[in-house]
Amino acid sequence: MAGHVDPTRDSFDAFKALPRDEPVEMLNLLRLRDRATYADGRTASGFEAYRTYGETSGPIFKRVGGKIIWRGQPRSVLIGPGDEAWDLAFIAAYPSAAAFLEMITDEVYQREAVPHRVAAVLDSRLIRNTPQEGGDVFG
C-alpha cells in the first residue's frame, strides 16, 4: 500500500483556494515507520524521527501562532478500513491558513524539519477544518 506523506498538487491548490485569513484546525492522523528512512542512511525509529521533526519545527510552529489543541492516542478503528490504524492523532490550530502556509514554506522548516517528517511517516491524513463551537449534540 502506498502511503500519503505529502499533498498532491491538486489538493494543495484546493487548500490554497480557500480563504487564507480565517483560523484553521488541522486534523493530523499519522502512521509511522518502524525504522525511519533517512536519505543519508542514519538510523532511528519512526517515533524518534517524528519527535525530532516536532523539536525542529516547534519554534517555527510557535512563531506563526500555532498550538496543539487536542492530542489523543488512537486505539481502534470502529468505523473505516481496518488497515488505517494510526500511531498519532492531534489537532494543530493556526490563527489563519496564511500562518500555516508561512510555516510550511519557511526555509528553515523545509531544510531542518521536513527531512525528519519524511523519514518518519509511512502514511498520514491532514484535514483542514474551520473551527466551530462545540456543544452537546451531533451535527
How many Cβ atoms from other residues are within 10 Å of residue 60's Cβ? 19
Residue in this structure with the C-alpha cell 519512526, named with its chain if needed? 46
The tens place of each residue's pLDDT in the chain, 139 residues long, gives: 457 888 889 999 999 999 999 999 999 999 999 999 999 999 999 999 999 999 999 999 999 999 999 999 999 989 998 888 899 999 999 999 999 999 999 999 999 999 999 999 999 999 999 999 999 998 7
* Dihedral in degrees, nearest 10, Cα atoms 101, 104, 107, 108: 130
| CA distances to 22, 47, 55, 56, 74 from 122, in Å | 30, 11, 19, 19, 16
- Whether residue 8 contacts residue 110, with contact meaning beta carbons closer than 8 Å, is answered with no
Q: Which structural domains are found in the chain, ordered by start? A: 28-129 (3.30.70.100)
Q: What is the largest CA-CA distance in the chain?
A: 50
Residue in this structure with the C-alpha cell 494510526, named with its chain if needed? 86
In angstroms, the CA 69 to CA 49 distance is: 22
pTM (predicted TM-score): 0.91
